[in-house]
Amino acid sequence: MKIQQLRYIVEIANQNLNVTEAANALYTSQPGISKQVRLLEDELGLEIFERNGKHIKAITPAGKKIIGIARELLVKTQSIRAIAEEYTQPNHGILRIATTNTQARYMLPAVIEKFSKQYPDVSLHVHQGSPNQLYDALLSGEVDFAITTEAQYLFDDVILLPCYKWNRSIVVKPDHPLAKLKNVTIEELGKYPLVTYTFGFTGVSDLDYAFNSAGILPNIVFTATDADVIKTYVRLGLGVGIIASMAHTESDSDLVAIDASHLFKSSVTQIAFKHSTFLRNYMYDFINYFSPHLTKSKVEQAESLRDNASVRKLFEGIALEEK
């Protein structure tokens, strides 16, 4: 059994059973991958993948367990390299982060600027996607950290660190009736077509909760994953925008932002990483730059805990910063 064979079966799973795409991702040939997978199956005496002729159509029950363990082993091999590099090249390396468009656009730039000045020889890679995509990228070992707000139930089997709280703003054109109100109610908001985030991204679940509690069915006419896209369609008159407050900036002077924190529950942004990840010193520093209360000693305490219920208890007495 070879590490490379494990890498092949994991990548096939990552690429939705497309061997050609797996080969492209690993810069190798499709016949080479197929041969090595067959050799591994022969060695184990069972099939990892179900096939229809030459084409893979599914993962076998045993294959799912094998691929799960293979993922962990590949993370362990990455950790071994990381430990070596921590001693031989402490300020060199790679940091891969997965997050949503809003976080990448409005929260990360200042953090990345500070980090890059401190660690100019660390290569930073930011991947953007939905909560499901963030989770998949983290679990597959494609990224070191995932920064997430929505669908945190997905992340129960990794370490979740609370970073900060944030809420939402209503954005409208200056001539909109809501722009004249000092304190918008959920009933008044429900009178208008809404433009907001795609379900599973920042804030939709809390939006639904607020409207459902008032017995109102919101008229959502357009959704997007990007706050800038939402603001564009508000400018076009498609509807009233509901975005993260951080996403309304000085450059949006043609839109009126109305605080909606009295209508919606605050959300908590968290940073996630796998239990098996070896955190290098520059990774601890990145976490601390992103959220100052997450010191290295505090993160190390969280790493030693067995589940996220214990991690939440660790941070119970800490008042999170509001963004």
pLDDT of residue 190: 93
Report d(CA 66, CA 81) in Å as an integer.
23
Q: Which residues contact 157 (CB under 8 A, 6 or more apart)?
A: none
The topology (CATH level 3) of 168-259 is D-Maltodextrin-Binding Protein; domain 2 (3.40.190)
pLDDT of residue 204: 53
Identical topology for domains 91-164+268-322 and 168-259: yes
Amino acid identity, position 20: T
pLDDT digits over 157-189, tens only?
789 999 999 999 999 999 999 999 888 999 999
Domain ranges of the chain: 3-81, 91-164+268-322, 168-259
Report d(CA 31, CA 298) in Å as an integer.
48
For residues 282 and 95, the answer to whether their CB atoms sit within 8 Å is yes
Read off φ and ψ for residue 41, nearest 5 degrees: -60, -40
Give whole-number Cα distances, 187 to 195, 215, 218, 266, 303, in Å.
Answer: 16, 9, 10, 19, 45
Report d(CA 9, CA 185) in Å as an integer.
53
Report d(CA 191, CA 60) in Å as an integer.
51
Read off φ and ψ for residue 292, nearest 5 degrees: -55, -30
Q: Residue 242 pairs with which residues in a beta bridge?
A: 170
Tell me if residue 289 falls in helix, strand or coil: helix
pLDDT of residue 131: 79
Tokens of 218: 């919101």
Per-residue pLDDT of the chain (323 residues; tens, 9 = 90+): 899 999 999 999 988 899 999 999 888 999 999 999 999 999 999 999 999 888 899 999 999 999 989 988 887 888 788 788 878 888 899 999 999 888 999 999 999 999 999 999 999 999 998 878 888 888 878 899 999 886 666 677 789 999 999 999 999 999 999 999 888 999 999 999 999 987 655 445 677 788 888 899 889 999 988 899 999 999 999 999 999 999 999 999 999 999 999 999 888 999 999 887 889 999 999 999 999 999 999 999 999 998 888 998 999 889 899 88
pLDDT of residue 203: 47
The architecture CATH gives domain 91-164+268-322: 3-Layer(aba) Sandwich (3.40)
pLDDT of residue 101: 87
Class of the CATH-defined domain 3-81:
mainly alpha
Tokens of 268: 């908590």
